[in-house]
């Protein structure tokens, strides 16, 4: 099912309507938000994305309803990342330059991991993208998505997919 007010030019809107991507990576979907695992090649297992269902650039464009529910959705999704991965922290990053549709990266961070501290997480992303580092094992990603779907009936107003 495509996003409300989908834009044909937006890769995130197209992804929301892609049945194969939905089946493989979507964890939960609600009226306002969609939670999914980063598609393959994923930089890290547990790298989730929280997307606006409506095509919008970011918080500046929120309706009052979106603004009221965003924090709860981010908290719920971040807690899920931590439960699934056992990470110490969850980085939350949104730029919107590559795709002008709000998609918040929720990245597991393990204390003492030299690969992903602070802004180096972007280097990790680029290294996988350029084939300089192996991505997360797709079988591990698939198992994590399944566990995420089964672990909770609702994430911040989103029903498990």
Domain positions in the chain:
11-156
CATH class of 11-156: alpha beta
Residue 31 has pLDDT above 70, yes or no: yes
* End-to-end Cα spacing for the chain: 12
Q: Which two tokens stand for residue 151?
A: 């672990």
Q: Is it the case that residue 111 has pLDDT exceeding 70?
A: yes
Structure tokens belonging to residue 152: 């909770």
CA within 13 Å, CB half, 5: 9
How far apart, in whole angstroms, are the C-alpha atoms of residue 140 and residue 60? 36
Residue 91: per-residue pLDDT: 94
Does the structure show a pLDDT above 60 at 3? no
The chain-wide mean pLDDT, for the chain, equals 90
pLDDT for 76: 93
3-state SS, residue 107: strand
Let me know: does 15 contact 21? Beta carbons within 8 Å: yes
**What is the predicted pLDDT for the residue at 52?**
97
Name the nearest CA neighbour of 86 among 125, 126, 113.
113
pLDDT at site 2: 54
Query: What pLDDT, on the 0 to 100 scale, is given for residue 115?
Result: 75
Q: How far apart are CA 51 and CA 78, in angstroms?
A: 13
pTM over 0.95: no
């Amino acid at each position: 099912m495509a996003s409300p007010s989908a834009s044909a030019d937006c890769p995130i809107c197209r992804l929301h309507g892609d049945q194969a991507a939905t089946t493989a990576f979507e964890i939960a979907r609600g009226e306002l938000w969609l939670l999914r695992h980063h598609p393959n090649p994923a930089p890290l297992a547990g790298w989730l994305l929280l997307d606006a269902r409506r095509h919008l650039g970011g918080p500046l464009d929120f309706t009052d309803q979106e603004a009221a529910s965003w924090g709860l959705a981010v908290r719920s999704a971040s807690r899920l990342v931590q439960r699934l991965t056992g990470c110490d922290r969850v980085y939350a990053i949104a730029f919107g330059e590559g795709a002008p549709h709000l998609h918040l990266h929720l990245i597991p961070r393990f204390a003492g991991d030299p690969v992903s501290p602070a802004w180096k997480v972007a280097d990790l992303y680029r290294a996988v993208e350029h084939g300089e580092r192996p991505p997360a094992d797709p079988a591990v990603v698939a198992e994590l998505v399944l566990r995420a779907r089964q672990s909770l009936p609702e994430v911040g107003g989103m029903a498990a997919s």
